[in-house]
Amino acid sequence: MEIYDYIITGGGSAGCVLANRLSADPAVRVLLVEAGGSDRHPFFHWPAGFAKMTKGIASWGWQTVPQKHLGDRVLRFTQAKVIGGGSSINAQLYTRGVPADYEDWVTRAGANGWGYRDVLPYFKRSENNQRFANHYHSYGGPLGVSNPISPMPICEAFFQAGQELGIPFNPDFNGRQQEGLGYYQLTQLNARRSSAATGFLAPVRSRPNLTVRMQAQVLRVLVEQGRAVGVELVAGTSRTPIIARAEREVIVSSGAIGSPRLLMQSGIGPADHLRAVGVPVVHDLPGVGSNLQDHLDLFVIAECSGDHTYDKFNRPHHAAWAGIEYLLFRRGPVASSLFETGGFWYADGVQRDRSPDIQFHLGLGSGIEAGVSRMPNGGVTLNTAYLRPRSRGTVRLASADPAAAPLLDPNYWSEPHDRIMAIKGLRLAREIMRQPAMARFVAREILPGVGEDSDEALFRYACANAKTDHHPVGTCRIGAAEDPMSVVTPDLRLIGIAGLRVVDASVMPFVPSCNTNAPTIMVAEKGADHILGRSLERAEAAQEH
């Protein structure tokens, strides 16, 4: 039997942060357990490696159940299975959302202590920003944040097209305001991906009090007399369970899908569901696996009038040159995340929401994640997602077998409002692509296609082509202890069981109006202080020494 002070289940963005912060005390023994393997392959470190990850590399290979509001379509649902989690395979976009997102957590969900003024210092604590040092940004933290190294001219045309429609240029989506189009800041440092694994975990792997187990899957959390006391896991190819005990806490940080899955496998969750799949009920907690939210992505693909994007680098001789350019000069296509340009605006130009509710990602190619066969001059993609969906879904177990894939039902567009707003966002994306500034680069629209203009036609297009933006949250949400659908209290303790916390994107009551990696890292930074029982001021003082 192995004995530790803290056991962290999941080596993703949150788990790597926690491993760093908790093991800083040499007297504390920490175990980090990750089901996936290492991030040694160059694709995990080269920014453009993201394109390979969207095809399923280093993921669990899960998919949704048929989405009844999208014509029963089944969507691929990529969830990382590698050290660093989503931060090792994502498009490296560093976005935080807007202050109102976090105020909603407090006022609408009872997540006291998670308002914008409370969380901003934790965003800044992790940040090593290469450009900004102001009220909103800092430098010197573990997470590299930088601007694109070698953007293409079509990106500037995209900004001009927005201005032709009255959408301003914005140099910092994480600053004073989110509105506008611009370059995303990226989790990169020196033209390499800065994941939670490289930024937070790698520098401390040699700590003697930190044990990292990869290719090891936690089967269940062990609970004795109402307290979490450890975990049961299997490592490598062995099916013989290993028991690891935690003298202080077990911290579940397996993500918005993995965390409720593990809790339910442990008998913690909706009692009726657990009985139905043959899992003995340890603690009836109805909110586990409910409240699933995600951003659904629609896109426009256009054929270019020349080699204005990176499509040509799919050809072997161009790919070879791109690799050489990157290795020698740290620039060019390989140094690009391929989605480093975009922005935020309003689906409804007349009745605007409290902040932008549509996000754009300009993809410098035609088939980076989904698309069409190769075009003579390559293509360009403009993704669009409605940011504040009202639809709610679930994560459930398919059976009592820990090896079985979970049943994932984001329940996209169950609320008609989401469909209306998403299609408005798609129309806006088409308008941007049709502006005069883009005419220098764009020859014609390929998808949705000329003549596909009615709401019904765009709905059929969405049913056939929509995809996840990989932003699931909410399945173990923060809330007041008396709320029957809350899973954790504001200090991230699991309601009803001692010695057990959840720290990852699953605790977010509402999905932020942005990509979710930066908010997840913030949750882990703040969660570490809760676990250690210290205030932000005390934590900062400790760091200085």
> Taken in order 101, 102, 104, 105, is the CA torsion positive or negative?
positive
CA trace torsion 42, 48, 50, 56 (10° rounding): -70
Closest CA to 283 of 217, 228, 219, 218: 228
Q: Which of 69, 135, 471, 545 is catalytic?
A: 471
Q: What DSSP state is assigned to residue 527?
A: H
Write the CA distances from 396 to 223, 261, 267, 412, 498, integer angstroms: 21, 7, 12, 16, 24
E strand residue ranges, 106-167: 127-129, 143-145
Extract the tokens encoding 115.
Answer: 């308002």
Extract the tokens encoding 457.
Answer: 């036609």
- Residue found under tokens 């001789």: 317
Write the CA distances from 226 to 391, 489, 494, 505, 520, integer angstroms: 34, 17, 11, 25, 28
Whether the CB-CB separation of 284 and 263 falls below 8 Å is answered with no
Cα distance from N-terminal residue to C-terminal residue, the chain:
35
Whether the CB-CB separation of 172 and 185 falls below 8 Å is answered with yes
- Residue found under tokens 């690891």: 244
d(C-alpha 380, C-alpha 227), whole Å:
53
Write the CA distances from 148 to 91, 156, 169, 255, 339, integer angstroms: 12, 13, 16, 28, 10
Whether the CB-CB separation of 301 and 446 falls below 8 Å is answered with yes
Q: Where do the H-state alpha helices sit in 358-512?
A: 416-433, 455-465
Whether the CB-CB separation of 365 and 311 falls below 8 Å is answered with yes
471 as an active site residue: the answer is yes
Amino acid at 151: P
d(C-alpha 392, C-alpha 143), whole Å:
32
- Residue found under tokens 């990869």: 214
Extract the tokens encoding 288.
Answer: 């586990």
CA–centroid distance for 387 within its chain: 13
Whether the CB-CB separation of 346 and 353 falls below 8 Å is answered with yes
Burial 456-475 (b: 16+ CB within 10 A, else e): eebbebbeebbbbbbbbbbb
Kind of pairing between the strands at 358-363 and 341-345: antiparallel
d(C-alpha 123, C-alpha 144), whole Å:
12
CA–centroid distance for 126 within its chain: 16
- Residue found under tokens 């280093």: 58
Closest CA to 20 of 460, 416, 501, 539: 539
Active site amino acids: 471
